[in-house]
Amino acid sequence: LAKTTQPISMDSYEGQEVNITCSHNNIATNDYITWYQQFPSQGPRFIIQGYKTKVTNEVASLFIPADRKSSTLSLPRVSLSDTAVYYCLVGDRGSNYQLIWGAGTKLIIKP
Amino acid sequence: DTGVSQNPRHKITKRGQNVTFRCDPISEHNRLYWYRQTLGQGPEFLTYFQNEAQLEKSRLLSDRFSAERPKGSFSTLEIQRTEQGDSAMYLCASSLRTGSQETQYFGPGTRLLVL
């Protein structure tokens, strides 16, 4: 099972673009990369998932280089409400029970 | 609201008591997961069901913990003889596996405090 490494915390300001990078050197061929967001006292919420290159949805973009050993979650023009913990997970997208959750990255957005 | 719901949202109990939590998944979802989360850590997998069958259970899970999902709908998680170390947020998630893909949707959690 691939483990991930991400920064413990990050700060940014309203209106900025925020990029959170996750390392996953042992990613397997069948593994997908998934990001979740969690606010205090709430369950995690799915943000985005990808396999390679770039994926974009209405809230974020996910950049994955060719070697897939890392990935970057990009949040455009953040607001105070984007303050949360962000988790990067790597694994077979059909076997969620095998996903290993790290401590995540605590993102703090300042006014 | 058609999301995952959990009850109660908060529970305070004394050491040695039994507690039971309930999770109501999104209605068409066939998989249901239980996780435990302590402060500053990510969720820790406890067990999961596909329909009414319990398919996986964490090896780290004490035998004081038991979960059921009768009829493949709601699920309950019971902790017997609670200990202070059981204090945590208990999260439930459900998903619909289609082909080789599934995405989990989490409930708000039940916060347990054992005194």
pLDDT tens profile A70-82: 999 999 999 999 9
Give CA–CA dist A82/A105, Å, rounded.
Answer: 12
Nearest to A84 by CA among A41, A49, A22: A41
Query: For residue B1, what pLDDT is reported?
Result: 54
Tens digit of pLDDT for each residue in B21-33?
999 999 989 899 9
Given the DSSP bridges, would you call strands B31-37 and B10-13 parallel, antiparallel or unpaired? unpaired
Cα of A45 to nearest chain B Cα, Å: 7
Cα of A111 to nearest chain B Cα, Å: 24
φ/ψ (deg, to 5) at B14: -95, 150
Whether B41 sits inside 8 A of A96 (CB atoms) is no
Give CA–CA dist B91/A4, Å, rounded.
Answer: 22
Whether B102 sits inside 8 A of A96 (CB atoms) is yes
Of A96, A102, A103, the CB nearest to B104: A96
Whether B45 sits inside 8 A of A93 (CB atoms) is no
Does residue A1 have a pLDDT over 60? no
Please list every residue in chain B whose beta carbon sits closer than 8 Å to the beta carbon of residue A42.
106, 108-109
Average pLDDT of B2-30? 95
Whether B43 sits inside 8 A of A101 (CB atoms) is yes
Average pLDDT of A92-97? 73
Q: Name which of A4-8, B1-5, B103-107 the model is least confident about.
A: B1-5
CA dihedral A48, A106, B2, B69 (to 10 degrees): 100
Mean pLDDT of chain B: 92
Average pLDDT of A45-53? 92
Please report which confidence band the pLDDT of residue B100 belongs to, taking 50, 70 and 90 as the band edges.
low
Of B40, B55, B106, the CB nearest to A44: B106
Please report which confidence band the pLDDT of residue B13 belongs to, taking 50, 70 and 90 as the band edges.
very high
Does residue A97 have a pLDDT over 90? no
Query: For residue B71, what pLDDT is reported?
Result: 86
Query: For residue A76, what pLDDT is reported?
Result: 94
Please list every residue in chain B whose beta carbon sits closer than 8 Å to the beta carbon of residue A48.
none
Best of A96, A100, A105, A106 to mutate (most B CBs within 10 Å, chain B)? A96
